[in-house]
C-alpha cells in the first residue's frame, strides 16, 4: 500500500522546482544531490516529466530544468497517473473488477471512506498547496 518510488521522486522533484522557480535553473546533478535521488535514475524520470510537459529543459552547459506549467495546475493525481500509480476503481482494494453499490466486494463498506478521502486528496492537491519551507526534501 505505497506509492511507486518513481512517483515519490517525481513529486519531490516537482515540489522542489516549484518552490524555487523564481530563483534559477536547477541541473539534474544538483537535484540529485539535494534530494538524494540516484543521478541516473533521476535523469530518466526528468526525461518523462519533460515529455509530459510538467517541466521544460534547457540543454547544454548551464542548462537545467524549470517548471513549464503553473504550480497551481499540477495536481498530484496527474503525477501519479504519469507513473501508473492508479487510483481508479478497476484496481481497487480487492481488485475484483467492475463494481458498484449493489455489486460490491466484502471490503467495500469499510474501504469507501478512506479511499474517497485519499482520492480527494490526490485530486485536489496541487503543487502550490504543498509549499512548505521547512519540510524535508
Partner DNA sequence: TTCAATTACTACTCAAAGGTAGAATTTAAA
Partner DNA sequence: TTTAAATTCTACCTTTGAGTAGTAATTGAA
Positions touching a second copy (CB under 8 A) are: 1-3, 5, 8, 11-12, 15, 76, 80, 85-87, 91, 93-96, 99, 103-111, 113-115, 117-118, 120-121, 125, 129-132, 135-136
What span, in angstroms and rounded, lies between the C-alpha atoms of 54 and 15? 11
Binds 59: which of a second copy, DNA, ligand SF4, none (CB < 5-8 Å by kind): DNA
When CB distances to ligand SF4 are compared, the closest residue is 92
Q: Taking CB under 6 A as the criterion, which residues in 53-92 touch ligand SF4?
A: 89, 92
Residue 108: CB minimum distance to ligand SF4, A: 3
Cβ distance to DNA smaller for residue 4 or 120: 4
Closest CA to 32 of 7, 9, 8: 9
Residue 117 in contact with ligand SF4, rule: CB under 6 A: no
Q: Taking CB under 6 A as the criterion, which residues in 5-34 touch ligand SF4?
A: none
Contacts 24+ apart (CB under 8 A), 122-127: 122/75, 122/76, 122/77, 122/80, 122/87, 123/75, 123/76, 123/77, 124/75, 125/75, 125/76, 126/71, 126/72, 126/73, 126/74, 126/75, 126/76, 127/14, 127/15, 127/18, 127/71, 127/72, 127/74
What are the residues binding ligand SF4 (CB under 6 A)?
A: 89, 92-94, 96, 99, 104-105, 107-108, 111
Amino acid at each position: 500500500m505505497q506509492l511507486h518510488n518513481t512517483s515519490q521522486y517525481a513529486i519531490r522533484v516537482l515540489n522542489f522546482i516549484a518552490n524555487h522557480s523564481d530563483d534559477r535553473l536547477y541541473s539534474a546533478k544538483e537535484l540529485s544531490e539535494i534530494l538524494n535521488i540516484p543521478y541516473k535514475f533521476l535523469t530518466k524520470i526528468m526525461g518523462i516529466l519533460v515529455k509530459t510537459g510538467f517541466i521544460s529543459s534547457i540543454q547544454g552547459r548551464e542548462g537545467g530544468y524549470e517548471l513549464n506549467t503553473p504550480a497551481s495546475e499540477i495536481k498530484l493525481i496527474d503525477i501519479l497517473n504519469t507513473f501508473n500509480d492508479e487510483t481508479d476503481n478497476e484496481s481497487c482494494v480487492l481488485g475484483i473488477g467492475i463494481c458498484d453499490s449493489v455489486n460490491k466486494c466484502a471490503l467495500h463498506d469499510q474501504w469507501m471512506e478512506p479511499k474517497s478521502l485519499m482520492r480527494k486528496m490526490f485530486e485536489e492537491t496541487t503543487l502550490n498547496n504543498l509549499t512548505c519551507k521547512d519540510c524535508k526534501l
